[in-house]
């Protein structure tokens, strides 16, 4: 069942208004608006975070595990959706205990998915069935067709993975699946926590960038400056460049000021960027695209002439997002 259908079912059974659900969610520490719940019910927005799903399920008296499983399957890659949805629901709700090692970004294509799954199943296949398993799954198409249908080999494999379809009811199997889904979400939360954006970020201060030098060369780094990180940057996203000339003085950027630069090579017309022109040290210029791969680089100081130059003769280091002015 799709996430929005299951959510509709829970809310109807609860006989609670969206306003009341929103109010109770706030009491539980999660601000979930009526409009957002309405979008979820219509399927107009992807399923929410694990925490919000659990809160809504608890408020409406629904099963949090089932709602989390529906959310996961809806976000899963297409080949995984097909893989899970083609099982015989009564006997083969198969989601084995290697799920904790799955992440949404792991399988970039079907070939990777099949390779990983096939090895996992082979490792858990009884020795007397291994040769037959390899024979019946020696192409991706044969693997997908074979593993989604009930058969003696898959029953044996899933028994070794903790799903005994001969002894356990479908309800118990589904409960195991749901528990593993909770474990999976917890592992994803732990990974996301590790990747959380820092509230402050330490940015390398760079005196200059020679045209032939890497941006983060240790020879160019003078030290580090800690700044607040409201835009959620990661390490190596930013540098701080000492402004070494008055070319942008018309924009009130002077020698000695410090430009905070987002490392990127793409730009929009009018952006203030840090560039290496020919073999010179990095400098600040406004940039604009012209025809025939030409670029217009302009200063805001009349002493510096505009430069029209082919893009291949310019190294774009990044976009200036902030200037720290020296007193």
Secondary structure (3-state) at 197: coil
| Tens digit of pLDDT at every position of the chain (327 positions) | 678 888 899 999 999 999 999 889 888 888 788 888 888 888 888 788 778 888 899 999 988 877 777 777 676 555 445 544 544 333 333 443 333 344 333 445 567 767 777 887 888 889 999 999 999 888 888 887 787 666 788 888 877 877 666 666 555 655 665 565 555 555 555 545 544 556 678 888 888 887 667 787 777 788 888 887 766 677 778 899 988 888 998 888 988 889 999 988 888 999 999 998 876 778 899 999 999 889 999 999 999 999 999 988 888 989 999 898 876
Query: Would you state the pLDDT for residue 95?
Result: 43
φ and ψ of 227, to 5 deg: -130, 155
CA distances from 264 to 4, 26, 128, 261 (A): 39, 40, 56, 9
Q: Fold for domain 200-324?
A: Umud Fragment, subunit A (2.10.109)
Query: Would you state the pLDDT for residue 175?
Result: 61
Secondary structure (3-state) at 191: helix
- The span from the CA of 259 to the CA of 248, in Å, is 11
Query: Would you state the pLDDT for residue 17?
Result: 92
Q: What angle do CA 258, 264, 266 make, to 5 degrees?
A: 120
Query: Would you state the pLDDT for residue 46?
Result: 79
Query: Would you state the pLDDT for residue 190?
Result: 55
Q: Are 99 and 163 in contact (CB under 8 A)?
A: no
| Domain residue extents for the chain | 3-192, 200-324
- The span from the CA of 117 to the CA of 131, in Å, is 16
- The span from the CA of 102 to the CA of 231, in Å, is 29
Q: What is the DSSP letter of 43?
A: T
pTM of the predicted structure, to 2 decimals: 0.42
- DSSP structure string for 249-303: GGGT--TT-EEEEEE-S---TT-EEEEEETTSPPEEEEEEE-STTEEEEE-SSTT
Q: Are 157 and 124 in contact (CB under 8 A)?
A: yes
- Outline where the chain has alpha helix (H): 3-14, 18-27, 34-42, 50-60, 64-75, 78-85, 110-123, 130-136, 140-147, 152-160, 170-194
């Amino acid at each position: 069942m799709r996430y929005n259908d299951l959510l509709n079912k829970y809310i109807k059974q609860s006989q609670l208004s969206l306003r009341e659900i929103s109010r109770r969610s706030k009491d539980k520490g999660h601000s979930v608006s009526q409009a957002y719940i309405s979008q979820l019910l219509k399927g107009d927005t992807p399923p929410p975070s694990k925490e919000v799903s659990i809160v809504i399920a608890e408020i409406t008296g629904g099963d949090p595990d089932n709602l989390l499983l529906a959310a996961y399957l809806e976000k899963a890659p297409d080949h995984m959706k097909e893989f899970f949805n083609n099982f015989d629901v009564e006997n083969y709700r198969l989601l084995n205990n290697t799920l904790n090692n799955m992440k949404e970004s792991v399988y970039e294509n079907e070939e990777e998915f099949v390779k990983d799954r096939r090895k996992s199943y082979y490792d858990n296949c009884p020795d007397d069935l291994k040769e037959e398993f390899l024979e019946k799954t020696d192409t991706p198409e044969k693997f997908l067709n074979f593993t989604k249908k009930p058969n003696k080999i898959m029953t044996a494999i899933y028994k070794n993975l903790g799903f005994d379809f001969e002894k356990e009811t479908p309800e118990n199997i589904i409960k195991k699946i749901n528990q593993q889904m909770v474990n999976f979400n917890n592992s994803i939360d732990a990974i996301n926590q590790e990747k959380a954006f820092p509230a402050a970020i330490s940015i390398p201060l760079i005196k200059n960038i020679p045209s032939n030098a890497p941006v983060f060369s240790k020879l160019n780094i003078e030290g580090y400056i800690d700044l607040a990180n409201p835009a959620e940057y990661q390490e190596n996203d930013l540098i701080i460049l000492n402004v070494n000339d008055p070319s942008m003085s018309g924009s009130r950027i002077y020698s000695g000021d410090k430009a905070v630069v987002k490392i990127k090579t793409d730009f929009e017309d009018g952006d203030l960027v840090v560039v290496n022109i020919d073999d010179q040290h990095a400098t600040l210029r406004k940039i604009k695209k012209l025809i025939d791969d030409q670029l217009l680089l302009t200063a805001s100081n009349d002493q510096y002439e505009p430069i029209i130059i082919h893009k291949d003769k310019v190294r774009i280091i990044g976009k200036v997002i902030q200037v720290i002015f020296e007193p």
